[in-house]
Chain A
Amino acid sequence: MKTSEQSLSNAVTIERKNFDALFASLIKREYQIVGPTQRDGAIIYDIVKSSNDLPEGWAEEQNAGTMRLKRRNDKALFGFNSTVQSWKKFIHPPSQRLWQTKQSSGKPAIIPEKSKKQKLAFLGVRACDLAAMGILDKVFTDSPFTDTGYRIRRSDILVIGVNCTQAGGTCFCASMNTGPAISSGYDIVMTEIVEKSRHYFVVEKGSKVGEEIIKELPSAEANVYEIEGAEELVNKTSSAMGRKIDTTNIKELLSRNSENQRWQQNAQRCLTCGNCTMVCPTCFCTTIEDVTDLTGREANRMRKWDSCFTMDFSYIHGGSIRPSVYSRYRQWLTHKFAAWHDQFGTSGCVGCGRCITWCPVGIDVTEEITAIRMSDKNNPSITLSKENK
């Protein structure tokens, strides 16, 4: 990890009018650039070819169960918070053929899916989503087995991070210690600053490739005011989070509260639609389906995103292990915030807030965890805080 002094001396500024030089440099290096773009009333990640494709001057208002685009009173390129989907869909595709099999007279043939490397540049990765990519890395590459496809997709990705300079209504990365400042895992990191008379980026390198790209861009050495200005914006964001969670001993808290009344209360609202798992940047569960042709002589093994909110997810002979709504919500939340620590040595939540925004009935994880903590019979801090009052 770099010290802050080193990064101080490395930082440069790039003016908005020169920002497209970054696209030129990436295209020259044969990167396909994926970045935020405004479409169908939302901001999504897709292929972008120039800064014209970026959601200039757009922001979103997010709250439990709602998201609405709105115009900013400036022309910020990254003036929004979290998009509908994270970058997960590019490194862990929603639907993917694993292999094909064809019936013949003797042994059926197996045709594995062919490898095709692609160079992707992720432009505008937020701290929470970058942390989520680190978590997926642990799931797919840091275990007894490695998902080869994931490793190949992930290895060629250039990460251009953007520090958040405002917090969204459902954001709580500060509580999960993942943001709003990006601290590692990037090739280039930027902070966008929009002033009355000047629109520029404070840019730092995070890797050799990142350094080479920055060198090609029209830039100036950043002065101490510019650097401090950028830091101040990010620090302010940290204290303006829309949501927060107390994560103290959260694993133990959830483990001993598996029969808390709150799960049942929440089940009155939860529709088990699985939206939270689809938008979550770390939910990795998949199912595999056979898709056959009409002759029945050819089958495709398709791996697809799955959700622990379906009845099928835990189905074994005789029925589902988790038939009730409360048990499925409990499974999701307890896995994300508690079991994940046992399995991968990290929380599964990065505080991006998507599950809160995209829940059709506005169930809020931060509210649920707080409610469980407040009703936890074994929590010494509750009695303590009551005494303090």
Chain B
Amino acid sequence: MTVTLEKLTKDIVPSQEMIPEYFRIIRTQKNTHDTFTIELEPPKNGFSFAPGQFNMLYMFGVGEVPISISGDPSDRNTLTHTIRAVGSVTRAMQKLKKGDFVGVRGPFGTHWPAEESKGNDIVIVAGGIGLAPLRPSIYHILSNREKYGKVVLLYGTRMPKDILYRKELEQWRARFDLEVLATVDRAASDWKGNVGVVTTLIPRSHFDPPNTVAMVCGPEIMMRFSVQDLLKRGVPVENIYVSMERNMKCGIGFCGHCQCGPTFICKDGPVYPYNAVKDIFIKREI
């Protein structure tokens, strides 16, 4: 009897959104000792996304992980993800080479208000690999640079060896229309730059707080204190956006894993107005 029941409920097609499509890897790049970037070729019709959105990436026989898109949103023919090798799936992905395949579902989730913030000053605060989900926003702003006021990028990592996109950061720093400040938590004596947490850069950078939109992404503790310092400088709380992270199995609101207070990060996030999630930062283990 039990066998019959299994037969009854087994053979049914799941949600189409649960089925990925394989994309071919056109380029891989080692960014730091534990991060790497893979560029994928969308099979047909290109791939559109908004800055801040993520994809579910599938590694054959291992599993699926939610990864933010880190490439240029105006380039529909390359899909770029920067990944830190921290678990079984991402460590397996680290070994992939040009010509290999990765399953892709997406894009999912909310986006940074890059387009919506035209006319404002922009402050981007990134911690560690938190720069990756913000990079599409930076690309978008830079390709429409005249539409924005002052643009500031504040970047903090634990150590110099953790700095992502180092070459690109240097190019950005050389621009006159972009203020780039970087810092590390600790460094050896050969480091000539800033030492200290990323929040120490906030009082030093140049923007007009009441007319500023802030986009913050990094570890929760870093986002919490960055927001405090942005508020201290007078950035209106409703202009501050953060990107959250939780375990995720489906990306479409069915698996329940990504709940963050009363919201689902996959549907209501990952990018939230700070006000919508501020409780999460002060309550433990929510």
**Which residues of A approach B to under 8 Å, CB–CB?**
32, 46-47, 89-90, 93, 96-99, 101, 103, 107-108, 110, 112-118, 120, 139-140, 143-149, 152-153, 258-259, 284-290, 292, 296, 299, 301, 303, 306, 308, 313-318, 321-324, 326-327, 331, 335, 338-339, 341-343
> Is B203 among interface residues, defined by CB-CB distance under 8 A?
no
Cα A377 to Cα B236 in complex, Å, equals 32
Q: Which residue of B is nearest A313, CB measured?
A: B257
Q: Are A147 and B22 in contact (CB under 8 A)?
A: no
Q: Top 6 A-B pairs ranked by shortest CB distance? A: A285-B256, A327-B285, A342-B262, A317-B86, A116-B11, A339-B262
Q: Which residue of A lies closest to B62 (CB)?
A: A290
Known contacts A47-B1, A314-B247; decide if A306 and B257 are in contact (CB<8 Å): yes
- 7 extra interface residue pairs, beta carbon distance < 8 Å, beyond A140-B254, A313-B257, A314-B247: A46-B2, A101-B103, A113-B14, A117-B12, A308-B256, A315-B247, A318-B86
Tell me the minimal C-beta distance from B50 to chain A in angstroms. 15
Instruction: Write the nearest CB–CB distance from A236 to chain B, whole angstroms.
Output: 35
Chain B: interface secondary structure?
loop
Report how many residues on chain B are interfacial, defined by Cβ distance under 8 Å.
51
Q: How many A-B residue pairs have CB under 8 A?
A: 160
Set of chain A residues within 8 Å of B12, measured between Cβ atoms: 96, 113, 115-117, 149, 152-153
How distant is the Cα of A259 from the Cα of B285 in the complex, in angstroms?
11
**Cβ–Cβ contact A284 & B254, under 8 A:** yes
Assess A288 versus B13: contact at CB under 8 Å? Given A107-B24, A321-B246. no
Verify if B33 is at the interface (C-beta below 8 Å from A).
no
Give, as a whole number of angstroms, the nearest-CB distance from A347 to chain B. 13
Answer yes or no: B5 CB below 8 A from chain A CBs: yes
A306 contacts B254, C-beta separation under 8 Å: no
A101 CA / B84 CA spacing, docked (Å): 25
- Known: A287-B257, A316-B245. Is A148-B60 also a contact (CB below 8 A)? no
Q: Given that A101-B60, A342-B263 are known contacts, is A286 also in contact with B250, CB under 8 Å in the complex?
A: yes
Q: Which residue of the partner chain, among A47, A326, A331, A342, contacts B5 with CB atoms under 8 Å?
A: A47
- Residue B39 CB within 8 A of the other chain: no
Complex Cα–Cα for A178 and B17 (A): 33
CB pair B11 A114 closer than 8 Å = yes
With A286-B250, A290-B63: A113-B13 Cβ-Cβ less than 8 Å = yes
Task: Say yes or no: A299-B61 contact (C-beta < 8 A), given A107-B24, A306-B255, A322-B285.
Answer: yes
In the bound complex, residues from chain A placing their C-beta under 8 Å from that of B11 are: 113-116
Nearest CB on A from B63, distance (A): 5
Q: Which of B1-54 contact A (CB under 8 A)?
A: 1-2, 4-5, 8-22, 24
- List the A side residues contacting B84 at CB < 8 Å: 317
Q: Are A321 and B247 in contact (CB under 8 A)?
A: yes
Query: How near does chain A come to B138, taking the closest CB pair, in angstroms?
Result: 24
Q: Are A145 and B14 in contact (CB under 8 A)?
A: no
Chain B residues within an 8 Å CB radius of A322: 285
CB distance from A46 to the nearest CB of B (A): 6
A327 CA / B10 CA spacing, docked (Å): 34
B259 interface contact, C-beta 8 A:
yes
Contact of B16 with A148 in the complex, beta carbons under 8 Å: yes
Say if the beta carbon of B64 comes within 8 Å of chain A. Answer: yes
Residues 72-84 of chain B, each 1 if its beta carbon lies under 8 Å from chain A, else 0: 0000000000001
Taking CB atoms, residues of chain B closer than 8 Å to A339 are 259, 261-262
Decide: A147 near B254, CB < 8 A? Known: A107-B24, A112-B14, A322-B285: yes
**For residue A152, which residues in chain B have a CB less than 8 angstroms away from its CB?**
12-13
Q: Report B196-212 CB contacts with A as 1/0, cut-off 8 Å.
A: 00000000000000000
Contact B256 A112 (CB under 8 A): no
Tell me the complex Cα distance, A335–B286, Å.
Answer: 11
- Say how far B62's CB is from chain A's closest CB, in angstroms: 6
The answer to whether B249 has its CB under 8 Å from any CB of chain A is: yes
Quick one: given A144-B267, A145-B254, A153-B12, are A286 and B249 in contact (CB under 8 Å)? yes
Question: Which of A47, A258, A299 contacts B283, CB < 8 Å?
Answer: A258
- The CA of A335 and the CA of B4, in the complex, are separated in Å by 34
